[in-house]
Amino acid sequence: VIRPSSTTPHLTLFSQSRKPNNRSIMTSDSNMIKTSDLLVDILIEEGVQFVFGIPGEENLDFLDSLRKKQGDIKLILTRHEQAAAFMSATIGRLTGQPGVALTTLGPGATNLTTGAAFAFLGGFPCFFLTGQKPIKESKQANFQIINVVEMMKPLTKFTKSVASGNMLAATVRRAFASSVTEKPGPVHIELAEDVASELTSKRIFEKLTLRRPIAEQKAITRAVELLMAAQRPVVIVGAAANRQRAIAALRAFVAETGIYWTSTQMGKGVLDERAKGFLGCTALSDNDLVHGALNMSDLVIMIGHDESEKPPIIMLPGGTRKVLHISFTPAIVDNVYSPSAQVVGDVANAVWQIHEELRAKGKTWEHQPVFKRYKELADVVMERGKEDGSFPMNIVRVVSELRKALPEDAILSLDNGLYKVVIARLFKAYQPNTVLLDNALATMGAGVPNANACKILYPDRKVISVSGDGGFMMNEAELATCVQYDMNIVHVILNDSSFGMIKWKQGNAGFDYWGLDLKNPDFVALAESYGAHGHRVTSAEEFGPLLAKCLDSNGTHVIEVPFSYEWFSAELEETEKECYHIVEMVEKEFGTCLIDCKSHGHDDAAQTGAKATPPTASVKQTDIASAPAPAPVEKPSEAKHQKLVTSKKDYVVQKGSSLPFYLGGDPYKPNENLAVLNKYTGEEFCKVALADESHVDKAIEIAAGVGAKKMRELPAYVRQQILQNVVDEATRRRDEFGYYLAIEAGKPIKDARGEADRLIQTFKLAAEESTRIYGEYADLEIAPRATGYSSVTKRVPVGPVSLISPFNFPLNLAAHKVAPAIAAGCPFVLKPASKTPLGALLIGEILANDPNMPPEGFSILPCSREAGNLLTTDNRFKLMSFTGSPDVGYALKDKASKKPVVLELGGNAACIIDDLDVGLSQLVDEVVHGAFYQSGQSCISVQRLFVRDTIYEKFRDAFVSKVKTLKAGDPLDEDTFIGPVISEDDAKRVESWVQEAVEGGATLLCGGNRFDRVFVSPAVVENVPRTAKLYAEEVFGPAVCIEKYSDFKTAVAEVNNSRFGLQAGVYTNNFNYAHYAFDKIDAGGVCINSTPSVRIDSQAYGGVKDSGLGREGIKYAIEDYTEVKVMVMKNAGKI
Pairing of strands 50-53, 74-77: parallel
Among 146, 145, 156, which Cα is nearest to 101's? Answer: 156
Q: How far is CA 877 from the centre of its chain?
A: 45
CB 817 within 8 A of CB 803: yes
Contacts for 141 with CB less than 8 Å, ≥ 6 apart: none
Question: In terms of C-beta density within 10 A (0-12 exposed, 13-18 middle, 19 or more buried), how is residue 784 classed?
Answer: exposed
User: What are residue 435's DSSP bridge partners?
Assistant: 412
User: What are residue 74's DSSP bridge partners?
Assistant: 50
Contacts for 443 with CB less than 8 Å, ≥ 6 apart: 114, 117, 118, 416
Q: How far apart are CA 349 and CA 214, in angstroms?
A: 7
904 flagged as catalytic: yes
What is the secondary structure of 396-435 as a DSSP string? HHHHHHHHHHS-TT-EEEE-SSHHHHHHHHH----STTSE
Q: How far apart are CA 826 and CA 475, in angstroms?
A: 48
Query: 904, 926, 974, 1043: which one is catalytic?
Result: 904
Pairing of strands 32-34, 199-201: antiparallel
User: What are residue 132's DSSP bridge partners?
Assistant: 192
In what order do the strands lie in the sheet containing 99-103? Answer: 74-77, 50-53, 99-103, 126-132, 186-192, 158-162
**Three state DSSP letters for 273-298:** CCCCCEEEECCCCCCCHHHHHHHHCC
Pairing of strands 789-797, 1122-1130: antiparallel
939 flagged as catalytic: yes
CB atoms within 10 A of CB 512: 9
Query: 126, 863, 911, 939: which one is catalytic?
Result: 939
3-class SS at 494?
Answer: strand
- Between CA 239 and CA 392, with CA 446 as vertex, the angle to 5 degrees is 105
In what order do the strands lie in the sheet containing 684-688? Answer: 658-659, 684-688, 674-677
Helix (H), strand (E) at residue 249 = helix 244-257
Q: What is the CA radius of gyration of the chain?
A: 35
> What residue spans of 123-236 are helical by DSSP H?
148-152, 168-180, 193-197, 217-229
3-class SS at 23?
Answer: helix
Cis peptide before 207 (omega within 30 of 0): no
- Between CA 1034 and CA 312, with CA 622 as vertex, the angle to 5 degrees is 140
> What residue spans of 520-663 are helical by DSSP H?
523-529, 540-551, 566-590, 603-608, 638-646
Catalytic residue numbers, as ranges = 904, 939
